[in-house]
A and B are shown apart, each in its own frame.
Chain A
Amino acid sequence: MTSLLRWLGAALLLAGAAFFLSDYHNDVYRKLLLWVTLALSYNFLFGICGQIAFSHFAFYGIGAYSVVIFLFQFHLPFPLAILLGIALCILFALAVAIPSTRLEGFYLALATLALAQLFIVVLNEGGAVTGGPGGLANYKLPEILGTRIRGPWYTAVIVLLLLGTLAVLWRLDCSWFGRACRAVRDNPEAAAAMGVDVARTKVIAFTLTSALAGIAGMVYAFVDNTVNPPIFGLDNAFLLLFMVIVGGAGRHAGAILGAALLFLLPFVLSPLIGHHHVLVFGGLVVVAILLQPRGLVGLYDAIRRHP
């Protein structure tokens, strides 16, 4: 009961903040919430299950594009479009994950890198369906029960998405499945000896987190009301990985911290050094791995242990 109240309090606090922000700050706030959501699900895949994949951002894009295409190119009803979009993400995720798990080493990273590139190629060459390099624009969130959600209320929807994702991942992390994932990450042979089906655990974790990224993408589609290929490029896939590493891989707090820091840093750095803040990110990652492999959360733990 108290935990339910805590979730409710968090939702009210995070959503309530949106009503005090100007339009511009609301936009920044929404994107921050979306990045945190993505970082949380990516953290489960990379930090907790130990799989390096570069496709997380592509699945975000698949979610966004599929809902827009199903709604406005094929004119399907809203709930059906969402369900089909999720189904599409799951299908793609299975198609990548099942062959990749048959292999040792870092083949998942490569297969997903290929998928992410292929996705951009398909978007650019998709003609009228995907809108080509210009993407799709000028659409609006359909009305649900006669009302259209807009302004701060849409930010509240994103808050619900964030907390929903966190709740799902939290429950999974505390369940046998989370422990199986950690075991697979730390020592696959030992995990297999203890009766964990390594391949199946990997496939399920990959598919589930990819579907969560797809759902976040669907919500994103109506933030800017435009989807185009450059948004879903590889740069952002790397940024997502860096967020989780800098924050502290394997910890929910780390994902939240890292996403917030790396998302907000450009707003501070841009006036100082132009758009070369990416250089700072790269350096930050190298330093983080060399000096503090557990990220900012690890730094916090170390300080608390030796005050």
Chain B
Amino acid sequence: MQDFLELAVSAAASGCIYGLIALAYLLMIRPTGIINFAVGEWAMVGAFGGYLLLSKFEWPYPLGMAAVLVFMLGVGWLTERIAVRPLVERGAPLLAPILALLGMLVVFREAISVSFPPDPHPVPYALGIQHQSFFIIAVTSVVFIGVWLFFERSVAGKSFEAVAIHRRAAALMGINLSRVTALSFAGGAGAAGLAGLLVSPNVSAHYLMGVPLAIQGFTALVIGGVGRVEGALLGGLLLAFAEQLTVRYAPLPAGYAQGVPLLLLMMFLLVRPTGLLRAK
């Protein structure tokens, strides 16, 4: 029982990380339709921000965390300015910004690999090793409640939803499309950077940590469905539990556990492509 409880807490914590990454995808995909594979690299940048501020300069944790969050919002905004807005303004097909963002993915990863030595960089725990899982769960809950309130209760959130439902009509109603796009990218980068910062004490900041996170986050998004914010968290939790239960109880070599999210992804694409929760 003790064993199972520990497993459940650690699965819930990694589920929260996947949920945050899925939320990052969702924030951008809902209003713009753009899949940004660079979220994994954003998480990596957030983790390196944590290493720099918390390990190297030894800032207090809340201050460092806030600084990373603000920095990531800026990164997201800048990415949208460079790689998305010029293409959208020119009326390029949707594929163009997605490919430009793939290029940005490589730019982010290689910029970090040029700036830091290739070995893993340690990032400190927020409250100590035994509380990290609970800290992750608490922060994620706050983020999800905040985002949910934003979409359900605020006018700005409603304007996001309006853009997601009908772009042209929303623009005619006086909603500033480019501001919504910029904000959604800033928010996406913030969520992804937070996920990277939270996961980094367990895995250490490393310049190759992005792609696995990007794939797991996307799997969570597909499981939960792109229509609703809660779906991202639900998908992340389901994915993490499936993963950890297989590692713990299934008679498989450990490496094959990496295959679990991929098989789940394929299965969901095949059987229930809209995800578990439908858009309202």
Does B142 count as interface, using CB distance less than 8 angstroms?
Answer: no
Interface 1/0 per residue, B90-108 and A, CB below 8 Å: 0010011011101111110
Q: Which of A105, A118, A283 contacts B103, CB < 8 Å?
A: A283
Interface 1/0 per residue, A276-289 and B, CB below 8 Å: 10110111111001
Docked-complex contact A111 and B269, CB < 8 angstroms = yes
Known: A109-B35, A113-B215, A279-B107. A121 touches B99 (CB 8 A): no
Docked-complex contact A283 and B107, CB < 8 angstroms = yes
Interface 1/0 per residue, A69-100 and B, CB below 8 Å: 00000000000000000000000000000011
Docked-complex contact B87 and A279, CB < 8 angstroms = no
Docked-complex contact A110 and B269, CB < 8 angstroms = yes
Q: Which residues of B contact A105 (CB under 8 A)?
A: 33, 35
Does B78 count as interface, using CB distance less than 8 angstroms?
Answer: no
Does A305 count as interface, using CB distance less than 8 angstroms?
Answer: no
Interface centre among A99, A110, A121, A122 (most CB of B within 10 A): A110
Does B265 count as interface, using CB distance less than 8 angstroms?
Answer: yes
Docked-complex contact A286 and B111, CB < 8 angstroms = no
Measured between C-beta atoms, what is the minimum distance from A106 to chain B in Å? 5
Consensus secondary structure, chain B interface: helix
Does B157 count as interface, using CB distance less than 8 angstroms?
Answer: no
Docked-complex contact A281 and B255, CB < 8 angstroms = no
Does A304 count as interface, using CB distance less than 8 angstroms?
Answer: no
Does A117 count as interface, using CB distance less than 8 angstroms?
Answer: yes
Residue of A nearest to B271 (CB): A99
Residue of A nearest to B273 (CB): A103
Residue of A nearest to B254 (CB): A125
Known: A276-B114, A286-B83. A124 touches B102 (CB 8 A): no
Residue of B nearest to A108 (CB): B269
Q: Which residues of A contact B259 (CB under 8 A)?
A: 118, 121-122
Q: Which residues of A contact B98 (CB under 8 A)?
A: 52, 106
Docked-complex contact B111 and A289, CB < 8 angstroms = no
Q: Which of B86, B100, B262, B269 contacts A118, CB < 8 Å?
A: B262
Interface 1/0 per residue, A117-137 and B, CB below 8 Å: 110011011000000000000
Interface 1/0 per residue, B188-226 and A, CB below 8 Å: 000000000000000000000001000100110010000
Complex Cα spacing A200 to B213, Å = 33
Does B266 count as interface, using CB distance less than 8 angstroms?
Answer: yes
Does B256 count as interface, using CB distance less than 8 angstroms?
Answer: yes
Docked-complex contact A282 and B107, CB < 8 angstroms = yes
Does A13 count as interface, using CB distance less than 8 angstroms?
Answer: no
Complex Cα spacing A24 to B7, Å = 53
Does A29 count as interface, using CB distance less than 8 angstroms?
Answer: no
Does B113 count as interface, using CB distance less than 8 angstroms?
Answer: yes
Docked-complex contact A276 and B110, CB < 8 angstroms = yes
Does A212 count as interface, using CB distance less than 8 angstroms?
Answer: no
Docked-complex contact B255 and A276, CB < 8 angstroms = no
Residue of A nearest to B103 (CB): A285
Measured between C-beta atoms, what is the minimum distance from B255 to chain A in Å? 4
Docked-complex contact B211 and A234, CB < 8 angstroms = yes
Docked-complex contact B35 and A106, CB < 8 angstroms = yes
Complex Cα spacing A113 to B216, Å = 11
Docked-complex contact A121 and B258, CB < 8 angstroms = yes
Residue of B nearest to A107 (CB): B269
Residue of A nearest to B104 (CB): A286
Docked-complex contact A282 and B110, CB < 8 angstroms = yes
Does A192 count as interface, using CB distance less than 8 angstroms?
Answer: no
Measured between C-beta atoms, what is the minimum distance from B213 to chain A in Å? 12
Residue of A nearest to B111 (CB): A279
Q: Which of the segments A59-67, A146-154, A170-178, A238-246 contacts the partner chain? A: A238-246
Does A293 count as interface, using CB distance less than 8 angstroms?
Answer: yes
Measured between C-beta atoms, what is the minimum distance from B178 to chain A in Å? 17
Q: Which of A52, A109, A110, A238 contacts B222, CB < 8 Å?
A: A110
Does B245 count as interface, using CB distance less than 8 angstroms?
Answer: no
Interface 1/0 per residue, A7-25 and B, CB below 8 Å: 0000000000000000000
- Which residues of A282-305 have CB atoms within 8 Å of chain B's CB atoms? 282-286, 289-290, 293
Complex Cα spacing A289 to B258, Å = 34
Does A269 count as interface, using CB distance less than 8 angstroms?
Answer: no
Docked-complex contact B266 and A293, CB < 8 angstroms = no
Complex Cα spacing A107 to B218, Å = 11
Measured between C-beta atoms, what is the minimum distance from B245 to chain A in Å? 18
Does B70 count as interface, using CB distance less than 8 angstroms?
Answer: no
Seed contacts A52-B95, A110-B269; 5 additional CB < 8 Å A-B pairs: A107-B273, A109-B35, A121-B255, A282-B110, A290-B87
Interface residues of B (CB under 8 A from A): 33, 35, 82-83, 86-87, 92, 95-96, 98-100, 102-107, 109-111, 113-114, 211, 215, 218-219, 222, 253, 255-256, 258-259, 261-263, 265-266, 269-270, 273
Jot down 30 A-B pairs with beta carbons below 8 A, ordered by A: A50-B95, A52-B98, A99-B270, A106-B35, A111-B265, A111-B266, A114-B265, A115-B262, A117-B262, A118-B262, A121-B255, A121-B258, A121-B259, A125-B253, A241-B102, A242-B103, A276-B114, A279-B110, A279-B114, A282-B105, A282-B106, A282-B110, A283-B103, A283-B107, A285-B103, A286-B83, A286-B107, A290-B83, A290-B100, A293-B92
